[in-house]
Amino acid sequence: MRPFRRVIVLEVLPSFTSVISSIGTSIQEVADESGISKGTFYLYFKSKDALLYFVLKYYFDIIQSRLADFENQAMPPREKFTSQLRVLMETLSEHKEFIIMQAREQAIPLNESVKNLLFHMHVESQKFYRNGLRAVYGEKSEPFIWDLSLMLDGIFQSYTKIVLADEECFDFKELAGFIMRRMDSLAAGFSEDAPLLSEKKAKDLLNKTKKMFMQDNHPVRTILNQMKHELQKMEDKNGLDVSLDVLMAEVTKENPRIPVIQGMLSNFKDVKAFEKFRQEIAAFYQFEV
């Protein structure tokens, strides 16, 4: 991250979670809450999506740096990996406001750069688990390393949810040790069983997951992306970007609310460039505009 952009990210962070969590938040509101000018914001970020990308990258870099601090230390593999799990839990707890905000706003559509970053973060976390477990349990763990890392991921995420709700519920060092003792039991149990996930199967599943995560074939979302592209050409958006965000969030839901979609589409009725899109969406959901 470029130094000046990093400074701006740090300026925005204290108020970021309270402002950006609303899909209707404007750039001006983000700038006002953060104590910077709108011009300064646009000097470093093209959009809220760009800001979200760099904030995610900032947190990811923090985690990677803290985990890497242990790599050059003369520690037994088990002690090193257990310490890394502790530090990972501590870091997530330190930034729990942002994590909770992201969990609440999963319905907000993400652009491709953010999706790519999130997928990269997922891949790297799985690699971290596999490398740590491989170092602790040696070559004998290799046939079932994917199964074991998947189980560790599930256990770790489950306890993380508790920590985010109440960080004083556990002592992090004690929790990391407890998790590793459970992994000992799981690793020992594999000697009497066969692995479910081979490396080939795991990588095939990862590729399928990436395709599902990165591609969006929903016809209405495709139309909305076309509308977004058209909107970017307009200097005065007159609040239409907010309506588009609401539409995108609504059609993403399992049961979209037709009145909400109708109401948001009505905001575009006086703009000729969007009439074709309005008619297509109305036809899909079978209502008149």
- Reported as a single tens digit per residue, the pLDDT across 88-127 is 999 989 888 777 766 655 545 566 677 778 888 888 999 9
First to last CA, the chain: 46
Domain covering 62-214, topology: Tetracycline Repressor; domain 2 (1.10.357)
Domain locations in the chain?
62-214, 219-285
| CA 148 – CA 131 distance, rounded (Å) | 11
Burial class, 72, CB count within 10 angstroms (exposed 0-12 / middle 13-18 / buried 19+): exposed
| CA 218 – CA 229 distance, rounded (Å) | 17
pTM above 0.85, yes or no: no
| CA 202 – CA 165 distance, rounded (Å) | 32
Q: Tens of pLDDT along 19-70? A: 454 445 667 777 777 777 778 777 777 777 777 788 888 888 999 999 999 9
